[in-house]
Amino acid sequence: MHNGPQAQSRHDNRAETLAYIEMVISLTDRAVIVSDAERNVCYVNAAFTAMFGYTLDDVSMIPPWELLAGPLTDAKLHERASHSGRDGAFFHDDLLLHTKGGDPIWVSARVEPVFDAAGKFTHVVGMLTDITNAKRLQVLQREVLEALARDVPLAELMTFICSQVEALAPDVVCSVLAVDGEGRLRPLAAPSLPAFVSDGVDGLAIGPDVGACGAAAFGKKDVVSRNIGTNPAWAGVGERLSKSGFNACWSTPMIMRDGKVAGTFAFYFAQDRDPSPWHRQIVDTCVHLCGMAIERDEAKTRINRLAYFDALTGLQNRASLRRKLGDRFSRDARRQTRTAFLCVDIDRLKDINDAFGAPVGDAILSAAAKRLADHVSYRGEVCRLNGDAFVIAIDADREGAERHARGIIEALLQPFETSGVALPLSSSVGIALYPEDGQDVDGLLRHCETAMFEAKAKARGSYKFFDPAMQVLNKTRLVLGTALREAIACDELELVYQPQVDCQSGRIYGVEALARWTHPELGVVSPARFIPIAEQVGLIEAIGGWAIRSACAQLADWRARGFMVPAISVNISPHQFRNTGFCALIAASLDAHGLAPSDITIEITEGVMLEETPAVVENVRKLAKMGVRLSMDDFGTGHSSLSLLARLPVTELKIDRSFMDRIEDDATAQAVVTAVVCIGQSLGMTVVAEGVENDAQRRFLTALGCTVHQGYHYSRPLDRESLEGWMSGPAVSRRSA
């Protein structure tokens, strides 16, 4: 049938194609091996021999899969690979094999059966790609991420990366430099370079002629510097480096998402050479990892600053004061010196705000803060407690404290001049003394505040010492506490539920259960008010137990009636974690309603771990082991300790809603939110944004990859029925469109 010139030309074409195929197969770096239907090997290409060291003769004697398997080969995968071809089975997977010399080698294998025109099985073709290097990079990446999660200090982490890289590429020595805020090079790690290099580079401003790293950071692209012994850009260290055996350097900048250069990653070579493709692969991986580590380190510093300092006045906040003095008090428990706590409250700041506007109020507050700091100078600590209240802790006895109180009141009475007005400030001061009025910082803070309220009630512009009788005046607390006790006993508390929405899929992610209390006379009392009271009067455990039982019952009820609520979050006070029966209580509630541990999320605040007592640690671990999910609530407002995050088995992070108001125009809030999202994601946690109230906030968060939102933009907290209505409506998809 195939006679004549046409058939001849087809035949020539075929021969040509075959010649091409042969050429390709002998040149490719993929190992190719072909065997017939009886599994006798009939062909191996040059790459196969180069990769494994075996020739066609070797593999004709012993079945190839037997030759290639070794002590590290996965037996199941190997079995599948060696039987592929039979019954049309193919095999696509990564395998660890061994060369003739016994070296392990990772391959990506494709083994395919071949059939002739009549559908008869004739051959098996195996194609193997060496992916050893890719696997080694994966291992490096995993180890670095693990170290990041453990909060290993930056320089230590960078040294670790350098030594791992030097093991992967024995022909290079590497260095990591950071670029500081002023554009200067700061050595982070260079474990195998002589010390004079780091010393010589430290503090150099980046620029086009500053070695390879200065130039790479400056030009934002990688730079290869050769002949560094004589290269003018290496003035200072070049000659000595060359004498130490280094002649070329290749530096790559780490460019962050905001376009800033965080640092450089450099390879030093003995030969005067360019980097190889393998070097480039390593650097691609490392630049990313190092950049992430530097970015996280900066975020940590920023969060700490935010957590401990008040942005308006530049003074430390309550958390910082507690930390500092708490440490000091516990270090020398039997101190001879006495400390006075003075709570200073500005009397009419609200009037000033109303009359002259908030910017004037802010300016005066900052100026007042400065006067307090000047008054205290190095003799003690000043912190901004809240809005217009400050606390001063200063070494003084009763008489000294009295002198300070008068001095402060006097200092604030000197008019403040701002925006063309001169205003004196009247203030009230409450004083509590250590040790007689309290042994710990929290108690002393509470007592000086109580005394301040007394002073203010007596006469503006006066001071008062704390007196235990004043505590009786905390009557409201007492009254509320009693009423709350009754409310719990009569089952008058209720839960409302606020949906959390994954705005990417438009689906509901979960609901947060929030406690509500309506008092017959006082009306609605906010949990922000009654939860602290419950903690003080010992009712918090009862509330916690009630919340868990009610939430479980509600979730089971919804599911039974076809409302698919994926999970319910319950807020648990740190106090509850001291209770050894806590986990059993949760287990029993889940059990009673046929729920799985992962159906419930426990929201904790950082306060939980402030006292890492064995009972607390045990409860947290036990919960996680049970499979109950833990969420870190209000993240960014407390200590925001990253090491705490990495140490706790937390699966979810909730960004505090205080950041949301400012997210649209405040660069610090944006930076913190960006950092928190990044950290959460890199630790594999779900990041939930709280308090999302408008579309601009939704967009900002979504662009960061934070898609689980909770807030009025989606829904307010709802009672059971309203939530069911909300779930049946189009609310979720409409709002996230």
Q: Can you give the binding site for ligand C2E, defined by CB under 6 A?
A: 498, 514-515, 526-528, 531, 543, 547, 571-573, 603, 633-634, 657, 690-693, 710-712, 717
Q: How far is the CB of 511 from ligand C2E (least distance, A)?
A: 12
Q: How far is the CB of 689 from Mg ion (least distance, A)?
A: 10
Q: How far is the CB of 669 from ligand C2E (least distance, A)?
A: 15
Nearer of residues 543 and 623 to ligand C2E, judged by Cβ:
543
Kindly tell me which residue out of 151, 222, 454, 633 binds Mg ion, with binding defined by CB under 5 A.
Answer: 633
CA pair distance 715, 26, nearest whole angstrom: 65
Question: Residue 473: how many CB atoms within 10 A of its CB?
Answer: 14
Quick one: which of 293, 321, 294, 324 has its CA closest to 383? 321
712 binds, among ligand C2E, Mg ion, none (CB under 5 to 8 A by kind): ligand C2E
CA pair distance 26, 273, nearest whole angstrom: 30
Q: How far is the CB of 710 from ligand C2E (least distance, A)?
A: 6
Q: How far is the CB of 362 from Mg ion (least distance, A)?
A: 26
Kindly tell me which residue out of 604, 634, 677, 717 binds Mg ion, with binding defined by CB under 5 A.
Answer: 634
The DSSP symbol for 137 reads H
Main-chain phi, psi angles of 613, to 5 degrees: -80, 160
711 binds, among Mg ion, ligand C2E, none (CB under 5 to 8 A by kind): ligand C2E
Residues 549-608 that bind Mg ion (CB under 5 A): 571, 603
618 binds, among Mg ion, ligand C2E, none (CB under 5 to 8 A by kind): none
The residue sitting closest to ligand C2E, measured at its beta carbon, is 711
- Sign of the torsion angle spanned by Cα atoms 117, 119, 120, 123: positive
Nearer of residues 606 and 634 to Mg ion, judged by Cβ:
634
Binding mask 670-699 toward Mg ion (x if CB under 5 A, else -) reads: --------------------x---------
20 binds, among ligand C2E, Mg ion, none (CB under 5 to 8 A by kind): none
Question: Residue 411: how many CB atoms within 10 A of its CB?
Answer: 15
Question: Residue 700: how many CB atoms within 10 A of its CB?
Answer: 18
599 binds, among ligand C2E, Mg ion, none (CB under 5 to 8 A by kind): none
Nearer of residues 126 and 638 to Mg ion, judged by Cβ:
638
3-class SS letters over 506-575 = CEEEEEEEEEEEEECCCEEECHHHHHHHHHHCCCHHHHHHHHHHHHHHHHHHHHHCCCCCCCEEEECCHH
Interacting residues of 278 by C-beta distance below 8 A, sequence separation 6+: 133, 169
Helices first, then strands: H and E counts in the chain: 27, 27
646 touches 680 (CB < 8 A): no
Q: How far is the CB of 301 from ligand C2E (least distance, A)?
A: 25
Which helix (H) or strand (E) covers residue 416, if one does?
strand 416-418
CA pair distance 562, 564, nearest whole angstrom: 6
Scan for tokens 């460019």, then name that residue.
255
Binding mask 297-326 toward Mg ion (x if CB under 5 A, else -) reads: ------------------------------
Nearer of residues 151 and 603 to Mg ion, judged by Cβ:
603
Nearer of residues 285 and 569 to ligand C2E, judged by Cβ:
569
Binding mask 6-35 toward Mg ion (x if CB under 5 A, else -) reads: ------------------------------
The DSSP symbol for 681 reads H
225 binds, among ligand C2E, Mg ion, none (CB under 5 to 8 A by kind): none
Q: How far is the CB of 516 from ligand C2E (least distance, A)?
A: 7
Interacting residues of 444 by C-beta distance below 8 A, sequence separation 6+: 339, 341, 432, 434, 437, 438
Q: How far is the CB of 561 from ligand C2E (least distance, A)?
A: 23
Nearer of residues 388 and 603 to ligand C2E, judged by Cβ:
603
For Mg ion, how many residues bind (rule: CB under 5 A)? 5
Nearer of residues 296 and 713 to ligand C2E, judged by Cβ:
713
In degrees, to the nearest 5, what angle opens at C-alpha 387 toward C-alphas 386 and 390? Answer: 55
Is 541 a binding residue for Mg ion by CB under 5 A? The answer is: no
546 touches 586 (CB < 8 A): no
Q: How far is the CB of 736 from Mg ion (least distance, A)?
A: 21
CA pair distance 17, 311, nearest whole angstrom: 74
547 binds, among ligand C2E, Mg ion, none (CB under 5 to 8 A by kind): ligand C2E
Residue 210 DSSP SS3:
coil
Residue 43 tokens read as 């062909």
Nearer of residues 224 and 514 to ligand C2E, judged by Cβ:
514
Q: How far is the CB of 568 from ligand C2E (least distance, A)?
A: 12
353 binds, among Mg ion, ligand C2E, none (CB under 5 to 8 A by kind): none
Cα 466 to the chain's mean position, in Å?
A: 43
Nearer of residues 45 and 550 to ligand C2E, judged by Cβ:
550
- Sign of the torsion angle spanned by Cα atoms 353, 355, 356, 357: positive
Q: How far is the CB of 202 from Mg ion (least distance, A)?
A: 43
Scan for tokens 């991986």, then name that residue.
285
**Strands 600-604 and 629-635: what pairing?**
parallel
161 touches 263 (CB < 8 A): no
Q: How far is the CB of 606 from ligand C2E (least distance, A)?
A: 12
Nearer of residues 345 and 633 to Mg ion, judged by Cβ:
633
Judged by the rule CB under 5 A, the positions of this chain that interact with Mg ion are 571, 603, 633-634, 690
